[in-house]
Structure formats: C-alpha cells, structure tokens
A and B are shown apart, each in its own frame.
Chain A
Amino acid sequence: MTSDRNVELLTELPPIGPAIAKAAVSSRGRGGAKAGLPDRTVMVSDVSFDINDLADYAHLIGLTLTNDVPGTYLHVQTFALQVHLMAARDFPFAMAGMVHVANQMTVLRPVGVAEKVTLSSSATNMAPHRSGLTVDLVGEARVGDELVWRGTSTYLVKGASMPHEGAAETGSPEAEAASGADVALQQWAQWRTTTDLGRRYATVAGDVNPIHMSGLAAKAFGFPTAIAHGMWTHAKVMAALQGRIPATHTVSVNFRKPILLGSTVAFHAGMTDDRVALSVTNRSGDRVHLTGEVVPLAGSIS
C-alpha cells in the first residue's frame, strides 16, 4: 500500500448484494472522469477462510480442494471490496455501466487455507479505450506484511471520455494479454453451462449482478439470456490447469464475448516451457469468450 493514499478500514468483508443495490439507486449524478478516482484504499484485515465455503466454491468450479487458497478465490474475496468502492458515492462512474473486460492476478506465494490475510482494493489507472475508458481495480492480499497475491480487474466504462482531451490511448489491455498467439492451441475440453449456473456461482462467490441471475434481468441489459460470470470461466480454466502450472504464476485473461448460459463452450490451451496460452470459445471456435495466458514466476510448465 502506498502511504499517500487514505485507508478505509472495514471490520469485515462487506456483503455484495446490498452494495450492488445501493450502486443501482445512486447511479445518476456521478461525477464522471473529471471527478477523478477515489483516493482511497479499502482494507479489511484478519480475514480467515471458511473451509466449507471454500469447498463449495472449489467443487462448483471443479477445482480440487487443497491446502492452498485458489488465486481466483482471493479475487472473489477482494471483489467485495471492489464493489464497496464502486458503490460509494464518490466513485465517478455508475457500476451498472462498467464491464469487466480483463483480469490479471499474480500468486506470489500460495496462501494456506488456515492463514489470515489482509485484503485491500483501490481504483487506479484511468486509461482511454476505443469504446470509452478503462479503470483498474487493484486488489492485494497480504499475510502479515508480505504481499502474497495481487489482482488487477480492468473495467471498461463505455462511452466515458477522459478528462484531458488528447491523452494518448494506451494499448488496450485486451491487446496486451493476447500475446500468446504464436502458441498452437489444442481443444482440451468442452463445458456445458446450465441456465442456473449464474445463480449457483453467485451462492459461492457472492456476485449477484442481475445479468448473471436471470434471463429477464439480462434482457434489460441487452443480453438474450443470463450470461456466465467471467470469473467463473476464469476459475474453470484454472481448474483445468490444476497440477500442471507452478503454484506461483501470473495469469492474465481478457473477457471477450459473454457466454450465454445454456450454451456449450470449448476450452483450448497450448503449453510451452515458459507459459500456457488459453482460450475459451464457442464449439465452432468462431466466437471467442476468453483469451489469456499463464506465466510461471519461477520454474517452468511441467
């Protein structure tokens, strides 16, 4: 944590549902890019893991429950802080208009299920994007003072414009993390999504965003059916790679077209010594849902 930021210390992870509701009713009249991002880090310390909850999450995804907390589960924990930050009045954009377009996380060392962590989240790095602008929500997990996990969730704010005209459009995050294109991908698996997957994932991950929960709500946001949580797809990819990648790694994914619940998707991967390239597409491969790569921090892909 940089010392020049204010810290909002919470006593426990805030519930996500009420925060989403609060954000929805207070979506109008937000300041926009000019207002700037809140100069706050939301933090909660001494967070312990409920093994039963973790098991429910792991088993829904298809992860083997181990002594290490899955990296994607640390995202699930810090997501509550993200939502808390984005729902607050001083956040300049309406949460309902923000689309999770990319995610990157680094496991610096595995977190044990019996360990207590300090979790934090802050908003940073407003950057221009061809469809608006992007904002990064950066989460961190520490054990004592040791940084053990860091996650960056990139959100697209559609139609928003940067406060300073003429700011150079930095390469969109989508382009950055798609660098695994030279690795040949093979289809590893196909996954059938059920129409209740969004609701089931919400019970283990807390993200009750209506576009995942019901077809009717999703239609209101322009989707033909409810769509899969991007972080479900991400976690499912990590489950497919469990046992094959070193415990310490950086994984970057870009969320492309949403997965309509009820559809069957294909997971593709290509392994080289120094990374695994990934994609999730529809069965014919012409509709891309997710691309990404895993890079070990040390050692090589086995």
Chain B
Amino acid sequence: MTSPASASESAPHSDARNLPRTAVIVGGNRIPFGKAGGKYASASNQDMLTAAIDGLVARFGLAGRSVGAVAAGAVLKHSRDFSLTRESVLGSALSPSTPAYDLQLACGTGLEAAVQIAGKIALGQIDNGIAGGVDSASDAPIAVSEGLRKALLKANHAKTTPAKLRALASIRPVDLAPQSPRNTEPRTGLSMGEHQAITTKKWDISREAQDELAAASHHNLAAAWDNGFFDDLVTPFLGLARDQGLRPDTSVEKLAKLSPVFGKGEGATMTAGNSTPLSDGASVVFLAEQEWAQANNYPALAKVVDSEMAAVDYVSGDEGLLMAPAYAVPRMLARQGLTLADFDYYEIHEAFAGTVLSTLAAWESEDFARDRLGLDAPVGSIDRSKLNVNGSSLAVGHPFAATGGRIVASLAKQLHAAGPGTRGLISVCAAGGQGVVAILEAV
C-alpha cells in the first residue's frame, strides 16, 4: 500500500522528500458559487474562469504580467472548450505570454491543479503559478446521440453525394434526441448519490448525523461570510455577492423533514439537504516559491507540504466509490511521520454528508485499519470542531472542479491566521473511485 518514498522513517517532516524549494499559497480568489439555473445560468465555464482569474489579477497586481503556468480544468466540458484554461487566460488581464493547460480529475481537479503547480514550483521549474477550476451545471454540454454522431461523421467522410445521402438516411428519429450529461458512473450506471447510499449504509451512518453535519456546514459558512472571512477570497460576479445555496437559518429539525432521494426503503438517509446541490462557479489559487513571494512582497499564507492520490475498486463493490481518500490520507501521514491528530484544521470535501462521516468512521475502525490498510491500530479520530470550520460543499455548493481551489485558499488563510506551524489536512473524493489529499502548513 505504501509508496516507495514513504519507506524511510528517518525524516519526519516536510523535507521528507528533500524537495529543493518550498511552494507557498499566496492567496486565492473565487466567484460566489451559484445554484444550477441560478445567477450564472447564462455564464459559460470560460466566463466564470476568466472572472475568477481577473479577480485574482486585480487582487495581486498581476495585470499585464505573466506567471509560470496556469493549470485549471472543468468536469462538465464542451468539446469547444478543449483549451479552456488557455482561452480564459487569453481573455484575462494576464499577459498573453502566460502558459496554461487543462487537467481533469473529476472533483479532485482543483486540488490536483494546485498540487501540480506546487510541484513545478518545488522542482524549480517555475517561480509562481495559478491553479484552479470551474464548472457549470447550468451550461452543461448537450451531445448528440451516438447514432446521429456516427451518421454525420460518415456523411462528412463520404466522397460522393449519393454516399453522403446514404449516410444521412441512416439517421433514425430516436437518434435525434439530445444526450444530457449524466451524473452516473460509466461502469456501474449508478449515480454518485446511489453509490454513496451504499457506503453510507455500510458504515451505518445515521440520518441525524448527516443532517447535523449539513446544518453545521451552513452555520459555519454563514458565520464566515458575516465575519468577513471571504472578503479577500471572493469577488462578486454577475450580481451575486454570496454563495447562492447558503441557508443560514437551516437547522437539524428543518433538514429532518426532507425525504430521502438516494438509496431505497427504510434505511434511506440521504436527502437533498445532506447532499451537495448542482452548482456553478470558479476558483483560483496563486502559488509561488517562498523566497520569490518574499522578494516580491507577496504574502505567504501556507506551504504545500505533501499530497497523495488513491483509487479504489468500486466497480466490483470491493470499496465505496468515494472512499479513496480514506486510503490516501494514512499513506500520506505515514510518509510525513504524522498522525491524524497532528492537525489544527481538517477540510473534508462534503460531496455528501455521508461521505465525510463514512471516511471518519473508516479511520476510527480497527477492522478497516487491519483489513484495508494493514495497520495495527485505527488511523484515529478527529476533533470535529476543527472540521470544515468555514463551511464546505453542502452549504457553499460544489461546482466540481472549482471546489479544490476554494478549499486550498480558504484553508491557507485559516492556517495563516492561526499562526506559523499550524497544519491543515485536505481530503477530496472524486468520481471514478479516486481521491486527492494534501497537507498545508502555515508559514
């Protein structure tokens, strides 16, 4: 289970891999997250990503300047957006000579983008960079059916008019129905919620516990907005100044009234209230080499200490679709010589309340430690008052690829306020049975 790099027990800290340089988070920017079909209903991914970049540019005086690289992506992507990030950069106030590329790791896109940029900085390939992500559930691509697509391609390739007509004549009425993107796993046909419902049941996570987590997310997010925490993390867009899905006055009692939407029968516990809503939004993070940041008078909020990816076999039912972070975190902790208790803040992405609680339950389980991780003792438990202290996806919304950038920037700011040396853990699950996790430490 452990990677070769973690075999060493001699190096307990961030220099475990003897990286030549330290990548720090300078700051971040996002637009408020909107509800699908809401304020950003007409905005494209490129519009939103450009807005997030331009807000960051304004905040850090980057107009007309270039950075080492911009890495970002989207999960729901139009074919015309094959070079979404570069196109967004070209339309932004950044210098046109700024390199940019797209990446895609489902809901882990934004965090993995930050990890890649941090890696390039640490290796001395670039001095600074921007990482981010964007998604629109409103402006989702609609594809043509396979029958229509193949007929059109055949007609396009045909050399003669009769051949073209023959190809077009093969189109059947049923082929004309548009294909909306579906939130289902290609290999199982189950939606993400249906997958999580299996896991939630397996770990015996109660409805009450899920609703409590959801209520806390809304209350924490509302408090963070009220305290001005997001003042230097968010730029309003198209008339939206706060996250559209936030319900400050929600409560466990109100959430308890909702009917389950995922899972079947009496044991069904997952509702629209304790599952993330479809959302629109974009986020970016500005990272730099620590000394470069200092020399250029930029703040250094927190350094990127380490990251780990994991994947699980959810197809055979061996493990739950969204449980990969439960494996990634213990491996990363071992490599760093840390325990789960060695953190001041935890950011566990709330794909569903059940995901967070199943992950925490796995880490507390002796069986899971022994059978799945090959460890003698459970990974441990966390102080829940340190979890998602400024709200998370249940309240903020979850524009898939934008979530990582939101978490990285918010956690870096939170850690910086708590003082040098404070540590934060990020855990993000992703479709395809994958997960990305990372450690940040305040500078």
Contacts and interface: CB of A to CB of B under 8 A. Distances in A.
Interface in B86-124: 88, 90-96
Contact of B44 (A65, A67, A113, A244): A65
Interface stretch (A50-58, A133-141, A142-150, A162-170): A50-58
23 contacts: A51-B42, A52-B41, A52-B42, A54-B42, A55-B42, A56-B42, A58-B47, A59-B44, A64-B46, A64-B47, A64-B88, A65-B44, A65-B238, A66-B50, A66-B51, A67-B236, A114-B238, A243-B50, A243-B90, A243-B91, A243-B92, A243-B94, A302-B95
B43 A65 contact: yes
B239 A114 contact: yes
Given A51-B42, A243-B90, A243-B91, A65 B96 contact: no
Interface residues of A, number: 17
A64 B236 contact: no
Contacts of A67: 51, 236-238
Tier of interface size on chain B? 20 to 34
Contacts of B92: 243
A242 interface: yes
A65 B93 CA distance: 14
Nearest to B87: A64
Interface string B26-70: 000000000000010111101100110010000000011000000
Contacts of B90: 243
Question: Which secondary structure characterizes the binding site on chain A?
Answer: loop
A215 B56 CA distance: 47
A70 B44 CA distance: 17
Contacts of B43: 55, 65
Interface in A205-247: 242-244
B63 A302 contact: yes
Given A51-B42, A242-B91, 7 more contacts: A64-B91, A65-B44, A66-B51, A113-B238, A114-B239, A243-B90, A243-B91
A187 to B, nearest CB: 16
Contact of A64 (B39, B50, B64): B50
A54 B237 CA distance: 14
A114 to B, nearest CB: 4
B73 to A, nearest CB: 18
Nearest to B239: A114
Nearest to A244: B96
Interface in A47-77: 51-52, 54-56, 58-59, 64-67
A56 B44 CA distance: 11
Interface in A66-93: 66-67
B93 A243 contact: yes
A65 B238 CA distance: 9
Contacts, number: 49
Contacts of A52: 41-42
Contact of B54 (A51, A59, A66): A66
Contacts of B46: 64
Contacts of B88: 64
Contacts of A66: 47, 50-51, 54
Interface of B: 39, 41-44, 46-47, 50-51, 54, 63-64, 88, 90-96, 236-239
Contacts of B236: 67
Task: List 8 tightest A-B contacts by C-beta distance, closest first.
Answer: A55-B42, A302-B64, A65-B47, A114-B239, A64-B91, A52-B42, A64-B50, A243-B91
Contacts of A54: 42
Contacts of B95: 302
Interface string A25-66: 000000000000000000000000001101110110000111
Contacts of B91: 64, 242-243
B236 to A, nearest CB: 7
A133 B339 CA distance: 83
Contact of B42 (A64, A65, A244): A65
A55 B54 CA distance: 18
Contact of A113 (B64, B94, B239): B239
A302 B64 CA distance: 5
Contacts of A59: 44
A59 B237 CA distance: 17
Tell me which of B47, B90, B94 has the highest count of chain A C-beta atoms within 10 A of its own C-beta: B47
Interface string A286-302: 00000000000000001
A272 to B, nearest CB: 15
Contacts of A65: 42-44, 47, 238
A66 B39 CA distance: 13
A244 B43 CA distance: 21
A184 B232 CA distance: 42
Contacts of B94: 243
Tell me which of A56, A58, A64 has the highest count of chain B C-beta atoms within 10 A of its own C-beta: A64
Contacts of B47: 55, 58, 64-66
A2 B250 CA distance: 54
Nearest to B41: A52
A64 B39 CA distance: 16
Nearest to A52: B42
Nearest to A51: B238
Nearest to A239: B91
B306 to A, nearest CB: 35
Nearest to B96: A244
B137 to A, nearest CB: 16
A244 B239 CA distance: 24
Contacts of B238: 51, 65, 67, 113-114
B138 to A, nearest CB: 11
B36 to A, nearest CB: 15
A52 B38 CA distance: 11
Nearest to A113: B238
Contacts of B96: 243-244
Nearest to B31: A67
Interface in A108-123: 113-114
Nearest to B95: A302
Contacts of B237: 67
A66 B46 CA distance: 10
Nearest to A53: B42
Contacts of A244: 96
A113 B236 CA distance: 11
Contacts of A55: 42-43, 47
Tell me which of B39, B46, B94, B239 has the highest count of chain A C-beta atoms within 10 A of its own C-beta: B239
Contacts of A242: 91
A302 B88 CA distance: 17
Nearest to B57: A243
A248 to B, nearest CB: 14
